[in-house]
Structure 1
Amino acid sequence: MNIGIEATSTYFPNEIETAAVLAEKTGIPENVIIDKFGLYQKHVADDTMHASDLAIAAARPILAKVDPLSIDVVIYFGSPHKDYHVWSSAPKIQYELGTKNAYAFEIMNVSSCFPIALKVAKDMLKSDQSIHNILLVGGCKESQIIDYDNPRSRFMFNFADGGSAVLVKRGAKMSDILESAITTDGSFHDDVRIPAGGSKRFASFETVEKREHYIDVVDPAGMKARLDPLSIPYFTEVIRKSLKKSGFTPEDIKILLPLHTKRSMFRELLQSLNLPEEKALYLDHHGHMSALDPCIGLHFASEQGKLEPGDIAVTVSAGTGYTWAATVIEWKGEKT
């Protein structure tokens, strides 16, 4: 019996930061933010909404149609920047959603995690016949970790806030989750991080004064010189491998669902696969939300009628460290 995604849902906070606002914060011209960085606007959460709350809000529409007591597992796959440090949001999400029969846990691989989470959910359902329904939920409030006064990292202004969720089950009528491919190049493990707050540099008055609790890039020029020649080849590799394992080729792709990147990288990726832009979903009105981007793209593709029965979609993402991951989905389109 097939294992697939049965339902998708998203949530975005009301507050919006436009390219004009971001231009004021960064000193980068508005037209450059739109044309080069591919961002017209992004959603930003207020002080009442955190990663767990955004994930909960995203999952509620699914559980309005599906009995919460039928969920066997709740997996949080979202941003590691959560409500608290050294804290699991999964139990809170399980409790607030009323999924009392589910056990809950988290997997985290920063921005690359959604294609990986699909593989984990599929493998769990395949190996354990007692599991029938898995709820994948993610939240992101990474707009909060940008230091606009730091020239090494303020280019990450596309970091945005939101939530997304999917229901994965055995016997799904909407889609089949096919194969995945994942690759890691750990030589980038030390390039991007929040310097303080962990065991290496525990929080102190000094770390706060030095603004070390925001995301930082140790050597932007050095990382770019090493990463640029590898990034598109690794993206292409995991996409092609996942498709080959699934019995398809890039020519079979109906829609590519990548994370949000600057526009030139997005176009380079499409060129490497010989795909036109209309065969990809680009989140230029939402920005980058950690691992959520391909999940949000899948929801938009479904809601906008971009997928028909038999179509092939590929979720693909990359996360600092660096890991590239892709998972193939075959659309069936039947909604319960």
Structure 2
Amino acid sequence: MVVLARIVDIQFYIPQSYQSYEDIATLSGLPSSVVKEKLGITKKPVENKLGIEEMLLESAKGLLSADRKQNTKIVIYSGSDAKGKHVWTLAPKLGYLLELKRYYGFDVSSQCVGGIVGLQLATKLVSNGSYALLCVATKQSSLVNYSDPSSTFMFDFSDGAMSALIAKEEGKYEILSFSFLSDGYFGDVVYAEQRSNLLEVHEIPGWRDKMREESKKNFIYVIEEALSQAGVSKSKIGFVALVHMKRSFHRALLDTLGLKEEQSFYLENFGHMQGVDPFLAMEIARKQGKLEKGVVVLASAGTGWTWGASVLEVL
């Protein structure tokens, strides 16, 4: 196996205020049992005070000692496009706020697969003896229209931030491979109009049926392709860290991969934190002692639509 780079550490900012499944049921008119059991939301964090920049500062500051600050040369923001300001690049400002020197900062737009896309870019750009800082954040809970029945698959949108430090030869996770697959048929299904404060579902004819047919196949494709590129068989997967999705779809993916429920972590108390999800599931499992040395697969999908996976080795 070829090691592309390593994840040194990951830190999160999780808001302390929450919406419960009962709150969401009240806002949407759905039965509370549907929100909790079908949509898979027990509660989700919602940020009422901090903006994207502030949340990322909270998640990043614990990663950067004086030496690491001096040697962090890349800052990548690959989180939500709803950054609080339009036509604006966040990463350079974040590097400045973190007091980095002589760094290159840029933003990437890949929606909910952005965490894995950003990880691939950090892996390619980080050089020996330096660090790349990957930052992902979202406040998209405020973009959900709970009165729109067509938006139920977005009712899990929550808030939070993640920062990960990437290096070539230092870290607790080895990064082995990536795989991505896009299908622009779904490109105009979800977006916010220029002057709108809410995400809207645009009913492209047949998209829901096609999504039901294609999404599981595409998840399995990128996972198997990433495993192949890493030179790892499917039987070697120790843990799969997935984006938040309906309970039934989560279970179906595990069944297709031949995995047990304890080989994943379902984010029912966190909702869908955009590109943060797979990293959060992995780190929670590690802290709970469920993540043994071996192969971990991160997998997510983002509107547009793009599916992505990465294979890691736990050290």
TM-score, normalized by the shorter chain, greater than 0.5: yes
Of the candidates 146, 150, 153, which is equivalent to residue 152 of structure 1?
Answer: 150
Question: What TM-score do the two structures reach when normalised by structure 1?
Answer: 0.89
Alpha-carbon distance in structure 1 between the residues aligned to 2:156 and 2:205? 19
Runs of 4+ in 1 over 4 A off after TM superposition: none
Task: Please tell me whether the aligned partners of residues 175 and 310 of structure 2 are also in contact (alpha carbons under 8 angstroms).
Answer: yes
By how many angstroms is 1:67 displaced?
Answer: 3.1
Alpha-carbon distance in structure 2 between the residues aligned to 1:188 and 1:27? 27
Amino acid at match of 1:277: E
Alpha-carbon distance in structure 2 between the residues aligned to 1:42 and 1:14? 10
Matched residue, 2:298: 315
Q: Is 1:141–2:139 an aligned residue pair?
A: yes
Q: Cα deviations across residues 214-236 of structure 1 (Å, max 9, x unaligned)?
A: 11111188321111100000000
Q: Cα deviations across residues 234-282 of structure 1 (Å, max 9, x unaligned)?
A: 0000001101111112211111011000111111111111111111121
Secondary structure, counterpart of 1:79 in structure 2: coil
Q: Is 1:69–2:53 an aligned residue pair?
A: no
Task: Please tell me whether the aligned partners of residues 54 and 140 of structure 1 are also in contact (alpha carbons under 8 angstroms).
Answer: no
By how many angstroms is 1:59 displaced?
Answer: 1.1
Alpha-carbon distance in structure 1 between the residues aligned to 2:61 and 2:263? 30
Amino acid at match of 1:24: T
Matched residue, 2:13: 11
Within 5 Å, give how 1:2-41 maps onto structure 2: 2=3, 3-41=5-43
Amino acid at match of 2:260: P
Alpha-carbon distance in structure 1 between the residues aligned to 2:275 and 2:171? 25
Of the candidates 146, 162, 165, which is equivalent to residue 164 of structure 1?
Answer: 162
Of the candidates 285, 289, 298, which is equivalent to residue 301 of structure 1?
Answer: 285
Alpha-carbon distance in structure 1 between the residues aligned to 2:210 and 2:115? 25
Secondary structure, counterpart of 1:80 in structure 2: coil
Where do 5+ consecutive residues of structure 2 fail to align? none
Where do 5+ consecutive residues of structure 1 fail to align? 198-202, 204-211
Alpha-carbon distance in structure 1 between the residues aligned to 2:66 and 2:283? 16
Alpha-carbon distance in structure 2 between the residues aligned to 1:267 and 1:154? 19
Alpha-carbon distance in structure 1 between the residues aligned to 2:279 and 2:66? 19
Amino acid at match of 1:136: L
Matched residue, 1:43: 45
Q: Is 1:274–2:274 an aligned residue pair?
A: no
Question: What TM-score do the two structures reach when normalised by structure 2?
Answer: 0.94
Secondary structure, counterpart of 2:61 in structure 1: helix
Amino acid at match of 2:82: H
By how many angstroms is 1:64 displaced?
Answer: 4.8
By how many angstroms is 1:189 displaced?
Answer: 0.7
